[in-house]
Amino acid sequence: MAKETRLRILKAAQLAFSEKGFNGVSVEEIAEMAGVNKAVVFYYFPSKADLFAAVWEQSISELEEHIFEEIKDESVYLKKVKKFLKSYIDFVRNKRDIMKLIEREKVGVLSEKNDSIISRKLKEKYKNFVKKIVDLLNEGKELREIPNEVSAEETANIITNSIGATIFDPNISLENMEKIILRTITK
């Protein structure tokens, strides 16, 4: 029962943060959405920041697992990159609440102003996700599938920012985004 209650709170918080952002929602609203009282939320999460941290970490982990699980057994590099992009796009389409949360809160999480232990942990979680994309791109450079002049770091940021941003702009075609990225990074 305790695990189910915690999960209900996390799910409600994820939805609330994705719709209204961290500053736009109260713990009371999250408690109401989860069907518990505010004290129960604070029993599991000592503060709103701790609740947000748990939601953020879970969201980034789910994104990572979805994308990188799909490509782990692929040995042909170009197929791996295509699967990576298709998997990322699939996640954007099918996990809209998570993507809205990530995109809505990314700037705040990555802000240099936030330097608490929780903030550093959230930044690290996101930066590790981007680092996995950088590693994937560097693999392509080592295999000479991606030109050396392509910056893996800049390209990883372009990928995460452009694919993620489509969640707020229905006029951007994810398929066209995929084609543009592939044309940009491959020879």
User: Over the stretch 89-123, which tens digit does the pLDDT of each residue have?
Assistant: 999 989 999 999 999 899 888 887 777 778 889 99
Is 143 in a helix, a strand, or coil? coil
- Per DSSP, the residues of 1-57 read -HHHHHHHHHHHHHHHHHHH-STT--HHHHHHHHTS-HHHHHHH-SSHHHHHHHHHH
Q: Could you tell me if 89 and 172 lie in one domain?
A: yes
Confidence band for 187, pLDDT divided at 50, 70 and 90: low
Tokens, residue 123: 């930044």
Per-residue model confidence (pLDDT) at position 184: 84
Same domain, 148 and 167: yes
Return the top range by mean pLDDT from 9-18, 102-111, 169-178: 9-18
Q: What CATH number is associated with residue 35?
A: 1.10.10.60
What confidence score (pLDDT) does residue 171 get? 79
* DSSP notation for 79-139: HHHHHHHHHHHHHHHH-HHHHHHHHHHHHHHH-TT--SHHHHHHHHHHHHHHHHHHHHHHH
Full-model pTM: 0.90
With 0-12 CB in 10 A as exposed, 13-18 as middle and 19+ as buried, what is 42? middle
85 & 162 share domain: yes
CATH number of the domain enclosing 55: 1.10.357.10
Could you tell me if 168 and 154 lie in one domain? yes
Q: What is the dihedral of CA 33, 38, 40, 42, to 10 degrees?
A: 120
Same-domain pairing of 112 and 67: yes
Same domain as 107, residue 36: no
pLDDT (tens digit, 9 = 90+) per residue, 135-169? Answer: 999 999 999 999 999 999 999 999 998 888 888 88
Same domain, 70 and 13: no
The whole-chain average pLDDT of the chain stands at 92
pLDDT at 119: 84
CA 155 to chain centre: 16
- Residue 91, pLDDT score: 93
Q: Are residues 7 and 53 in the same domain?
A: no
pLDDT of 168 reads 81
Specify burial of residue 165 (Cβ count, 10 A radius: 0-12, 13-18, 19+).
Answer: middle
Same structural domain, 12 and 99: no
Residue 76: the pLDDT is: 95
Domain count, the chain: 2
Residue 21 and residue 54 in one domain: no
For 48-70, what is the mean pLDDT? 95
- Does residue 2 carry a pLDDT above 90? no
What whole-number percentage of the chain has pLDDT above 70? Answer: 99
Domain holding 85, by residue range, is 47-185
Asked whether residue 118 falls in the same domain as residue 136, the answer is: yes
pLDDT 10s digits, 25-45: 999 999 999 999 999 999 999
Q: Are residues 53 and 79 in the same domain?
A: yes
